[in-house]
Structure 1
Amino acid sequence: MFYDKDLIKNQVETLVNVASKILFAKNEVVYEASEDSSDPMDDLYVELNNLIENKEFGDGEDLIFDNFDISNDRYLILAIDYYHRLNEFEDDVLEDADFEREEVRDGLKDLIKKCGIPEDAMTV
């Protein structure tokens, strides 16, 4: 079982890297708040941070998909970064929040599909 969870964690890292390379030609993307305080993505970032702090990972995922905007690079970076950050949690923290590591992987896969990246590009 431990091996399976470790494998899934590695799969999520690979998916983050694949999405980052295909969408942004970078090995990894990290959302950074803008200097412009009126950027709505920063508001979403703050809301996601609060949900992460409160271990409300499912609500954060809902927020990601409710605000899906393929035309906004900052949104895509924020969404990829969200899953990357969830993947950093230990399995017991995710499970205590009623969120499995498989859900991190599957949610990221769903996001990548919505971005138009072919399934075979993310085979892990």
Structure 2
Amino acid sequence: MIKEDYLIRMIKDLIKTIAKFFFGSDSVTYQLPDEREYTETDYLYQQLVDMINQGDINEAEDLLYEKLDPQNKKYLELGLDFYSKLNNLTDEYLASHNYSRDEIELGLKTLVEKFGDSGLLTLFENY
């Protein structure tokens, strides 16, 4: 339980730091507009949330990276929210769907790498 709490806090801190670096805010929550105004990222976000809820976490992560556009920071916002949602799940739920907190941390690192900031990657060495 203590290790789980520590990892959850550590990942939350990583997300906060990345959000602060890229968006100037302590948190990032992907906001969906009215469905009539959905963009490609909005449809992707909705699909990812549905996949998480169905337990298709690995497939959702694969889809995120398949569709990721590193030139569009909306995808970074979407990715940070995605990993935040995963971090809010229990270890039991993650494990039962073949996923772990270590994979969340690795996913965040990969996300930052895709958006081309090697300086921020040193942050991961400190955690």
Provide the TM-score with structure 2 as the length reference: 0.88
Judging by fraction of residues, say which structure has more helix.
2
| Structure 1 residue 83 displacement after superposition | 0.1
Whether 2:25 is the aligned partner of 1:23: answer no
Which sits farther off after the overlay, 31-40 or 8-17? 31-40
Larger displacement relative to structure 2 (105-114 or 34-43): 34-43
* Superposed displacement of residue 107, structure 1: 0.8
Q: CA deviation at 1:49?
A: 1.3
CA RMSD of the aligned region, Å?
1.5
Stretches of structure 1 that go unaligned for 5 or more consecutive residues are: none
* Paired position in structure 2 for 1:41: 41
Bigger mean CA offset, 50-59 vs 67-76 = 67-76
Uncovered stretches (5+) of structure 2, i.e. residues with no partner: none
| Identical counterparts, % of pairs | 27
Greater RCO structure (CA 8 Å; 6+ sep): 1
- Structure 1 residue ranges, 4+ long, deviating more than 4 angstroms after superposition: none
Match of 1:112 in 2: 112
Aligned AA (1:17): K
Q: SS of the residue aligned with 1:98?
A: coil
Partner of 2:76: 76
